[in-house]
Structure 1
Amino acid sequence: MAQSQHREGIAAGRLAPPQYADNFSDLHPPLDRHEAVVEADRCYFCYDAPCMQACPTEIDIPLFIRQIATGNPLGAARTIFDQNILGGMCARVCPTETLCEEACVREAAEGKPVQIGRLQRYATDAAMTAGRQFYERAAPTGKRIAVVGAGPAGLACAHRLAVHGHDVTIFEARPKPGGLNEYGIAAYKATDDFARAEVDYVTEIGGIAIDYDKALGRDVSLAGLAATYDAVFLGMGLAGVNALRAEGEEAQGVENAVDFIAGLRQARDLSSIPVGRRVVVIGGGMTAIDAAIQSKLLGAEEVTICYRRGKEHMNASAMEQDLAASKGVLIRHWLQPKRVVAEGGRTAGIELEYTEMRDGRLAGTGETVTIEADQVFKAIGQSFDAAPLNGSGERIALEGGRIRVDQDGRTSMAKVWAGGDCVVDAREDLTVAAVAAGRDAAESIHRTLSANGRA
């Protein structure tokens, strides 16, 4: 390990150059043909398919695994893409250990489920590597739909609409497409610029145009889109980051974990990413885990996750928590931030208060502990910025700070649907849930336009 790692404060280049490539290599290397067939043979092909019922996109998992077992990976890819056109990324980042694999009968019987996620990657990679497209556009309908956001929900919606023959324009606020897949996923989970390759694969069907650097409320208005297009789908993510609500959090060295992850994902040279020697991450979800692990992989000596509740309450799965521990990350529970300790305006540590459940509610005990840190990451959830929605035109109903939709994804505004993290009851950080929402909203839009020509 390079001597430079022992520098105090936040610094880049803490490791010897070759270490970065090793540290950020593929978390789960792909299965080869033999490994895939052997793994597929472990499937019982259950008649009631509990794995399929646990999948938010309802992929026919037993069918695609049987297709792999019989030497037909392209057929398996078609089965996956019929339900989830972003099946390649979902195979890499979906928490299968708490969804399909947790429901696997092999998990209940042996504690070792069929590796559904890796089999899904095997099949989808085969199709994408071969450039095999399974869908052709229907005859043009003459209908035009605007999609706001080129993330998982927006891309899934756009692809399904394009299959039905509609023309789609996606308005994306950032300079690259992919949303969470491009900017919010740990670098070791999606290597080799896979997010962009998947977008290219999805849009190859035609009929989908992406207009970059176009933000709702700044460059386009919802009222304008609704007046110009036959329908609108809102697939924006969560732009706001929740505050620590701790004294001194404006100190230099206190950063948003989502910004750190985004910067790392876009960096051409990982050795240029500065990281602290002692890092504390506040939060208990996937963003906290990803920020903590990647801090360690960049050369931080001490990385601690502090979460206000117990291990069993963390949104991050047990597997992800174990992964963090295996990388040398310490996870401490029942601690909430109280004060950022600063010296000369720079973060030097963080004071935390111990918590406990009291009468069914979380409460501080009054006892505190201070952890030395030169960098603190906030990963305590994001919030939806509703301001761009109502800058003009008819107001969209919100609930709990997010867009209220019905079972088909319709909002309270005529011609406007929504899905993904921006809606009420969205399952945050789950690409697969956003894909399902975008796909289902597209079908609703298509049914509506087909029935009477109007949304």
Structure 2
Amino acid sequence: MTQSPLSEGVVAGRLDPAQLTENFGDLHPRLDNHEALVAADRCYFCHDAPCMTACPTDIDIPLFIRQIATGTPEAAAKTIFAQNILGGMCARVCPTETLCEEVCVREVAEGKPVEIGRLQRYATDVLVDANVHPFERAAATGKSVAIVGAGPAGLSAAHRLATHGHDVTLFDARAKAGGLNEFGIAAYKSVDGFAAKEVDWLLSIGGITVETGKTLGAGLDLATLSDTFDAVFLAVGLGGVNALTVEGSDKSGVLDAVDFISDLRQASDLEQLAIGRDVVVIGGGMTAVDAAVQAKLLGALNVSLVYRRGRDRMNASVFEQDLAASKGVRIITNASPKAVIGNGSVREIEFEYTDNDLNPTGQTVRLAADQVFTAIGQTLNAEGLPDLDGGKIAVTETGRTSVEGIWAGGDCASGGDDLTVTAVAEGRDAAEDIHATLMA
């Protein structure tokens, strides 16, 4: 079906270049040397530190902060990378306010935690910016591993396996590696092409070949991969999206928030991105918040984020919710979409208010909209994959699937919480199990 042209309210160039540059500047600029020393000095260097327990990758946080405090950020970076090879990006995108910083003793006692995330970025940027890799590749083992998906889990597994001396071929459906780090997060969280720079730095360990434009079912199949390689690791993410199924949802201007964020991240000129005057985002997770905030930063006059449950049930953290509100995004809760209204292209969207159990109350509201972005969940294309559990690939703690010789991790695998840092940990741990299995 061919959609009607977009509303006349959807235009490019709402803001001048200077304003766009300011709007999409670094959300948390890197600490300078003095700021890093002051921030590090606040750490108590706790024994059995709760921040370490809260970190999905088990980084020795007190150690790396002490190394910063003693003027050796390169050593701090190596401490971080030993556990989390994507520590630079995680320092930018991790919800530290609900992980390490939430349990920081300073947070509990004073309401102001040690700035662990910003200190991690300070340390890791030292090595990535200098293109210095702190690890060496072991002697070649003669074993080969195929990894499908070059996002956080796949990259983490690839690096750990290459470090052990295995030959790794990393396949990805897109034109370049990086996964969600490259295509799926708000532009103001990773500026100056850092995601791509970090991938290049990671690959410099050697032993990793990247093949882009390759996806399962279109040029790749598990049977062939299993026959060709000694092991296979699946890190395919969640490629499908849940569609809005209400009346009128096929109208022009109803778009996928994931695609909007990807287009924005890859845009060479933000002035060329068309955005509506009245934008409505449906959803309550990080993707919804990222889409809503960036719509506002592009110059949309009115942006509303609408979620069917209460604020306490939103997957986006309180920090992210507050960030959206601070940028002028109106957050409406306990409202479910009922109909998209317009002649060819969207003009309004109708919502029905619900109670806490999602029962309709009979009360409705219409919001003006010339653009609607949906962020109501992603799904796994399960065709040809190992056994599933709750719509994701069933795995053990070390990532083993129901098929011998095939592991999985990241968003496509069961048991995770859909965080970059968790995906990194799962890729690392699966790689260690693959290594142990291959060398047994």
Same fold (TM over 0.5): yes
Match of 1:23 in 2: 23
Match of 2:404 in 1: 414
Q: Offset of 1:19 from its aligned partner?
A: 1.4
Note the alpha carbon deviations across 1:109-150, whole angstroms, 9 max, x for none.
Answer: 010000000000000001112222111111100000000011
Match of 1:354 in 2: 353
Match of 1:328 in 2: 328
Match of 1:41 in 2: 41
Q: Are 1:177 and 2:167 counterparts?
A: no
Name whichever of 221-230 and 127-136 sits farther off: 127-136
Q: Are 1:367 and 2:356 counterparts?
A: no
Q: Structure 1 unaligned runs (5+)? A: 1-6, 391-395
Contact conserved, 1:161 with 1:446, CA < 8 A, in 2?
yes
Partner AA of 1:373 in structure 2 = A
What does residue range 157-236 of structure 1 map to in structure 2 within 5 Å?
Answer: 157-236=157-236
Contact conserved, 2:307 with 2:335, CA < 8 A, in 1?
yes
Equivalent in 429, 435, 440 of residue 424 of structure 2: 435
Partner AA of 2:367 in structure 1 = I
Q: Offset of 1:8 from its aligned partner?
A: 4.7
| C-alpha distance in structure 2 between counterparts of 1:143 and 1:189, whole Å | 37
Note the alpha carbon deviations across 1:151-170, whole angstroms, 9 max, x for none.
Answer: 00000000000000000000
Contact conserved, 1:342 with 1:348, CA < 8 A, in 2?
yes
Contact conserved, 1:96 with 1:102, CA < 8 A, in 2?
yes
Contact conserved, 2:334 with 2:358, CA < 8 A, in 1?
no
Q: Structure 2 unaligned runs (5+)? A: 1-6
| C-alpha distance in structure 1 between counterparts of 2:268 and 2:131, whole Å | 26
Note the alpha carbon deviations across 1:6-43, whole angstroms, 9 max, x for none.
Answer: x9521111111221111111111100000001000000
| C-alpha distance in structure 1 between counterparts of 2:115 and 2:153, whole Å | 25
What does residue range 66-81 of structure 1 map to in structure 2 within 5 Å?
Answer: 66-81=66-81
Q: Offset of 1:283 from its aligned partner?
A: 0.5
* Percent identity between the two aligned chains: 64
| C-alpha distance in structure 2 between counterparts of 1:246 and 1:111, whole Å | 44
Q: Which runs of 4+ in 1 moved over 3 A?
A: none
| C-alpha distance in structure 1 between counterparts of 2:381 and 2:349, whole Å | 28
Contact conserved, 1:310 with 1:333, CA < 8 A, in 2?
yes
Match of 2:4 in 1: none
| C-alpha distance in structure 2 between counterparts of 1:369 and 1:206, whole Å | 57
Partner AA of 1:378 in structure 2 = T
Q: Offset of 1:401 from its aligned partner?
A: 1.3
Match of 2:3 in 1: none
| C-alpha distance in structure 1 between counterparts of 2:170 and 2:132, whole Å | 24
Contact conserved, 2:106 with 2:113, CA < 8 A, in 1?
yes
Q: Are 1:377 and 2:373 counterparts?
A: yes
Contact conserved, 1:89 with 1:181, CA < 8 A, in 2?
yes
Note the alpha carbon deviations across 1:253-288, whole angstroms, 9 max, x for none.
Answer: 000000000000001010111111000000001000
Q: What SS does the aligned partner of 2:359 have?
A: strand
Match of 1:4 in 2: none
Q: Are 1:117 and 2:117 counterparts?
A: yes
What does residue range 78-89 of structure 1 map to in structure 2 within 5 Å?
Answer: 78-89=78-89
Match of 1:400 in 2: 390
| C-alpha distance in structure 2 between counterparts of 1:101 and 1:349, whole Å | 41
| C-alpha distance in structure 2 between counterparts of 1:250 and 1:270, whole Å | 27
**Aligned pairs, number:** 434
What does residue range 214-293 of structure 1 map to in structure 2 within 5 Å?
Answer: 214-293=214-293
Note the alpha carbon deviations across 1:419-439, whole angstroms, 9 max, x for none.
Answer: 0000112212x1100000000
Q: What SS does the aligned partner of 1:162 have?
A: helix
Note the alpha carbon deviations across 1:313-355, whole angstroms, 9 max, x for none.
Answer: 1111111111111111110111110101112x10001100101
Contact conserved, 1:8 with 1:277, CA < 8 A, in 2?
no
Contact conserved, 1:309 with 1:335, CA < 8 A, in 2?
yes
**CA RMSD between the two structures:** 0.9
Q: What SS does the aligned partner of 2:25 have?
A: coil
Q: What SS does the aligned partner of 1:316 have?
A: coil
Q: Offset of 1:103 from its aligned partner?
A: 0.8
| C-alpha distance in structure 1 between counterparts of 2:101 and 2:233, whole Å | 32
